[in-house]
Amino acid sequence: MHKPSIGLRRLIQTGVFVGALTASVAGAAADTIKVGILHSLSGTMAISETTLKDAMLMLIDEQNKKGGLLGKQLEPVIVDPASNWPLFAEKARELISKDKVSAVFGCWTSVSRKSVLPVFEELNGMLFYPVQYEGEESSRNVFYTGAAPNQQAIPAVEYLMSEDGGGATRFALLGTDYVYPRTTNKILRAFLNAKGVADEDIMEEYTPFGHSDWQTIVSRVKAFASEGKKTAVVSTINGDANVPFYKELANQGVKAEDLPVVAFSVGEEELAGIDTAPLVGHLAAWNYFMSVETPENAEFIKKWHAFTKDENRVTNDPMEAHYIGFKMWVQAVEQAGTTDVDAVRQAMYGQTVTSLTGTKAVMNVNHHLSKPVLIGEVQDDGQFETVWKTDGPVIGDAWSDFIPESKKLTANWTYPWVCGNCEKPKF
Amino acid sequence: MCQHHAYRLSRLFTIISLIIFLAALSVINGSYALATPAERDAALQLLTEKSSKKRGAGIDALAASGDPAAAPILAAMASGELYFQKTDKRVVIAKKQKDGYAVVDPISNEALGVLPSKGLRKIRVNNRLRRQIRGVLGGLNLSHPDAEKRLAAASGLQKSPDPALRPALKKAFAAEADKDVKAAMAMALAVIDSKPEAAAEDRLAAIELLTDSDATEARIILTQLASDTEKDANVRAAATVALDTVEDRLFYYQTLGSIFQGLSLGSVLLLAAIGLAITFGVMGVINMAHGEMVMIGAYVTFMIQEVFRSVAPEYFGLSLALAVPAAFLASGGLGVLMERSVIRWLYGRPLETLLATWGISLILQQAVRTIFGPTNREVGNPEWMSGAVELTGGVLLTYNRIWIIVFALAVLAGVWALIRFTSMGLEMRAVTQNRRMANSMGIRSGRVDALTFGLGSGVAGMAGVALSQVDNVSPNLGQAYIIDSFMVVVFGGVGNLWGTLVGAFSLGIVNKFLEPVSGAVLGKIIVLVAIILFIQKRPRGLFALKGRAVEN
């Protein structure tokens, strides 16, 4: 055929060759412990997940400089599931069966986690999942290092209802249309009802992924807020859709002191794309902010800037989750003396790591962490300033107490329960 | 009332300053009293407390001290520029600089030099304190010589009403000359008078005033007065009638607002689709990389803004004007390159074109991701594109949307004129209508193809400049618009610019009227299904081309 297609073909051939070369080099270094990194490096989610891949590489690099683990070097195995949910499952299978990794750190969206879950359970792998999520799950093969709803959503709404938060009694729940916002809002609605907020004081609205025209919704929220009671917005809007949403808020003159927005998926990384001056005072709830002043955090930020060779790179909550998860895994492997998944899992329970916020994070038997909850206000430099935090760590709750059918369930992976969703112990 | 008393005292006994001093001390909310440094300093110390309650008390105490510095100090606090020195708890105003903080004493206005951030701690405000400051500043600035400050004070009081300020407000209202400020003050008075503590006749008068107001606050108050929590039956009845009037009026405004929003969504669709109307509509190339041309335009905007930020920040407002031609050249150039290297080999083979251009779109996306990183890039809105103009009753026309409508129409007019009136346009039309005939007339059809494709891509690049103002600038920007663009072109009628215009605006408006009823997700689905059905009925879209071109 014509010239360009030959060029293309050669390009592909070269790519395959280089790929094969890296694979063989990797195979040659025999005595390493392999760690899988399963984050999208292309597609829609690359915006959030690429940073986590870099964070993992930094943590592994640092561990190797300290002499590795069990006398061996750690070797990262990076795959790119390309924001494609079925591909996540395929890549997970590849990591466990072909690359024989000892643990996998990965996934962002709940749908990708749901997609890899059967693979990890079938092949008895170990996944560390670093993102805040909707709960209602506890798998033997997954450690959830992000926040469960009771570590993020519930405290945030309690804050909005408090005097300092503005005493809101009317809520607009805005979200992207997929499993995380819908489940979280279901829990929140039950929670608000329990607190005496009637259904007519709750507005629930969903938008497609990447929604960019927020004019109608922002005007409707303003109208909703003008109906007599102090109103607040709870946003589970995901990823890219946030920037146009906040721009529209700013342009329509929505001030945080009149109508505060608390977001669960907006961190430092997402704010990097917006001029935050008009957003000062809007809120986010996380377990970590880059602005937290502790020696651990200062050290971490310094290393991150050195590793990425970029003084402007920000850190965020899922990075801290990976930091905690990785440290715990290292400690558990050292304690078990092996990387065998079953042995390491047993050693994981009760592991403590000093988190970047300076508190002791503990891995519980339901595979969720105990961490403090922070609420921060957006500042004009794109950072958050903590305005409220819990007195101590909060235990992550796999099954929400506000959904009747979940309330009965217990997740406990130690004897005699050994179960992620049981009403009574198995043994 | 106390400050009234104080006011009369201070007028009567101006000569006997000692007595005034004593009277001022006894004043609780004495925005008219003289300064007492001790009170002021005690209040300032309260601001450095950890508990937000104590800081709240500090705000009130500072306002009550009557110190002339109180207003600027509170304004600095609200904007997050108030700090205290860790060593001696001295409160200072600090502005961030490159090498630390430029620190100024808030009382003497004496510059204290540039200090490192280590020695300073920010006095935190949360939303409750911001509201409190807004109300307090409203009281302090009511008689400010600057009309704008008075207006801000009055509108602040509307949102954070303080019944204690009623006499002061009444007085300021009587003395006010500026029409706008007077209206705002009347409104603030009405808000205060509508509280249950106020006298019944005052409240009924307030309701009357609120009926004529388009402000959102008016509606909030009327809703409260019309609800069961209101004890006075007369007030409740009057408020219910007023609320009906207000809501009827608001309904019209909302319809107006929806039309504007529809036009604005339509203009975004139009911008994204014009380029495609050329490459797909005129040339018949199914260009899946069209969205990436838009994205490249947005990244060009980002780069130009970066240059402006570092070289000439004072001319930042001009960055977009420069970005438009730059984006046109960048995307257009890339389009020419694409056409010459790939697409020209694939004319007449739509499936291969589709696959090849889709491949190119992935390559471009990943290339941008590699060069600029996967995260969003910040493209600023220049001053003239931020904010909104309020028509009436909360119908806000945001400036960026207005400009985008204007820009979209201008681009359309430009493209139309180019095709209609220039020799290049003539050649373009000739080549698309009958290539062989055009060839034999001496037109180099290959060159025309490249330029036409370049034009379409360049227009897409210009769309990227506009879209960078309302959407994310990320490698995924283009993907979001490719489907919509095809939808508009196919719906409007392939090869017809008017069809693109009508198609874009009608889709925008239909979408915006559906959205409140059906929700955003279902609204999109309904529109898509409706278009599919429409295409079944009229496969050539709204404005079908007639004549020989169709038969090919």
pLDDT digits (tens, 9 = 90+) for A192-248: 999 999 999 999 999 988 888 898 899 889 888 887 788 999 999 987 788 889 888
Amino acid identity, position B165: L
Residue A204: give the domain boundaries.
153-263
* Set of chain A residues whose Cβ sits within 8 Å of the Cβ of B128: 163-166, 257
Strands (E), A95-223: 103-106, 127-129, 142-144, 170-176, 202-207
β-strand partners of A204: A173
Strands (E), B55-171: 82-85, 91-97, 100-104, 111-115, 120-122
How far B422 CA sits from the closest chain A CA (Å)?
A: 33
Q: Using the 3D structure, point to which of B175, B201, B231 is the last residue of a domain.
A: B231
How far A211 CA sits from the closest chain B CA (Å)?
A: 9
| B338 in the same domain as B446 | yes
| B366 in the same domain as B304 | yes
Whether residue B237 is contained in a domain is answered as no
CB pairs under 8 A between A and B: 168
Whether residue A224 is contained in a domain is answered as yes
Interface contact A226-B394, CB threshold 8 A: yes
pLDDT at B11: 52
Q: Which two tokens stand for residue B391?
A: 């028509």
Give B11 or A259, the one with higher predicted confidence. A259
pLDDT at A71: 92
| Contact (Cβ atoms closer than 8 angstroms) between residue B286 and residue B280 | yes
Cβ neighbour number for residue B1 with a 10 Å cutoff: 13
Interface contact A226-B216, CB threshold 8 A: yes
| Contact (Cβ atoms closer than 8 angstroms) between residue A279 and residue A249 | yes
* Set of chain B residues whose Cβ sits within 8 Å of the Cβ of A2: 345
Least trusted range by pLDDT, from A46-60, B31-45, B164-178, B273-287:
B31-45
Q: How far apart are CA A226 and CA B159, in angstroms?
A: 12
| B274 in the same domain as B161 | no
CA-based nearest residue to B132, from B107, B154, B159: B159
* Pick from B131, B378, B394: CB nearest A273: B378
Q: Which two tokens stand for residue A144?
A: 């959830």
Whether residue B57 is contained in a domain is answered as yes
> Has residue A350 got a pLDDT over 90?
yes
CATH number of B477's domain? 1.10.3470
Looking at the structure of chain B, the number of domains it has is 4
Amino acid identity, position B307: V
Highest mean pLDDT among B353-357, B428-432, B515-519: B353-357
> Has residue A27 got a pLDDT over 50?
no
| B64 in the same domain as B8 | no
Whether residue B333 is contained in a domain is answered as yes
Interface of A with B in 374-413 (CB under 8 A): 377, 379-380, 385, 387
Q: How far apart are CA B210 and CA B222, in angstroms?
A: 8
Mean pLDDT, chain A, rounded, equals 89
| B442 in the same domain as B323 | yes
Residue A219: burial class (beta carbons within 10 Å; 0-12, 13-18, 19+): buried
Residue B504: give the domain boundaries.
253-551
Residue of A nearest to B135 (CA): A257
Task: Supply φ then ψ for residue B348, to 5 degrees.
Answer: 85, 0
Q: ∠ CA(B511), CA(B514), CA(B517), 5° rounding?
A: 150
> Has residue A371 got a pLDDT over 80?
yes
pLDDT at A296: 94
Q: Above pLDDT 70, what percent of chain A?
A: 93
Classify residue B315 by its DSSP letter. Answer: G
pLDDT at B27: 42
| B226 in the same domain as B121 | no
Helix axis angle for A110-123 and A179-194, nearest 10°, is 110
> Has residue B407 got a pLDDT over 60?
yes
Residue B43: burial class (beta carbons within 10 Å; 0-12, 13-18, 19+): buried
Interface contact A257-B130, CB threshold 8 A: yes
Q: Using the 3D structure, point to which of B179, B199, B231 is the last residue of a domain.
A: B231
Whether residue A427 is contained in a domain is answered as no
Strand order in the sheet with A202-207: A202-207, A170-176, A231-236, A261-263, A283-286, A374-378, A384-389
Q: How many CA atoms lie within 13 A of B454 on its CB side?
A: 18
Q: How far apart are CA B544 and CA B245, in angstroms?
A: 47
Whether residue B409 is contained in a domain is answered as yes
| B21 in the same domain as B120 | no
Q: Tell me the Cα Rg of chain A.
A: 22
Residue of A nearest to B223 (CA): A228
Mean pLDDT, chain B, rounded, equals 84
| Contact (Cβ atoms closer than 8 angstroms) between residue B282 and residue B528 | no
- Whether a cis peptide bond, with omega within 30° of 0, leads into A416 is yes
* Set of chain A residues whose Cβ sits within 8 Å of the Cβ of B127: 165-166, 256-257, 260, 281, 377
CATH number of A222's domain? 3.40.50.2300
| B11 in the same domain as B41 | no
Residue of A nearest to B376 (CA): A273
| B261 in the same domain as B397 | yes
For the segment B211-218, the average pLDDT, to the nearest whole number, is: 74
One-character DSSP codes across A238-277: -GGGHHHHHHHHHHTT--TTTS-EEESS--HHHHTTS--G
Interface contact A47-B516, CB threshold 8 A: no
pLDDT at A135: 92
How far A227 CA sits from the closest chain B CA (Å)?
A: 5
pLDDT at A25: 44
Helix axis angle for B2-12 and B166-175, nearest 10°, is 50
Classify residue A368 by its DSSP letter. Answer: B
Classify residue B317 by its DSSP letter. Answer: G
Whether residue B248 is contained in a domain is answered as no
> Has residue B7 got a pLDDT over 90?
no
Q: What is the pLDDT of residues B15-73, one digit of tens each?
A: 454 444 444 444 434 444 455 778 888 888 888 888 888 888 888 888 888 788 888 88
* Pick from B220, B254, B374: CB nearest A50: B374
Whether residue A363 is contained in a domain is answered as no
Residue of B nearest to A273 (CA): B378
CA-based nearest residue to A283, from A123, A201, A110, A162: A162
> Has residue A88 got a pLDDT over 90?
yes
| B383 in the same domain as B299 | yes
pLDDT at B203: 83
Q: Using the 3D structure, point to which of B104, B129, B154 is the last residue of a domain.
A: B129
Whether residue B242 is contained in a domain is answered as no
Amino acid identity, position B96: K
Interface contact A280-B375, CB threshold 8 A: no
> Has residue A375 got a pLDDT over 90?
yes
pLDDT at A9: 54
Whether residue A179 is contained in a domain is answered as yes
One-character DSSP codes across A339-365: --HHHHHHHHTT-EEE-TTSSEEEE-T
pLDDT at B33: 44
* Pick from B126, B131, B480: CB nearest A387: B126
| B507 in the same domain as B445 | yes
Least trusted range by pLDDT, from A24-38, A277-291, B75-89, B99-113:
A24-38
Q: Above pLDDT 70, what percent of chain B?
A: 91
Looking at the structure of chain A, the number of domains it has is 2
Residue B64: burial class (beta carbons within 10 Å; 0-12, 13-18, 19+): buried
* Pick from A208, A272, A280: CB nearest B378: A272
Interface contact A215-B268, CB threshold 8 A: no
> How remote is the C-alpha of B199 from its chain's centroid?
40
Residue B25: burial class (beta carbons within 10 Å; 0-12, 13-18, 19+): middle
| B431 in the same domain as B322 | yes
How far A175 CA sits from the closest chain B CA (Å)?
A: 11
> Has residue B354 got a pLDDT over 90?
yes
* Set of chain B residues whose Cβ sits within 8 Å of the Cβ of A216: 258, 261, 512, 515-516, 520
Whether residue A216 is contained in a domain is answered as yes
Whether residue A399 is contained in a domain is answered as no
For the segment A20-46, the average pLDDT, to the nearest whole number, is: 72
Interface of A with B in 243-272 (CB under 8 A): 243-244, 247-248, 250-253, 256-258, 260, 269-270, 272
Whether residue A162 is contained in a domain is answered as yes
> Has residue A423 got a pLDDT over 80?
yes
Give A159 or A16, the one with higher predicted confidence. A159
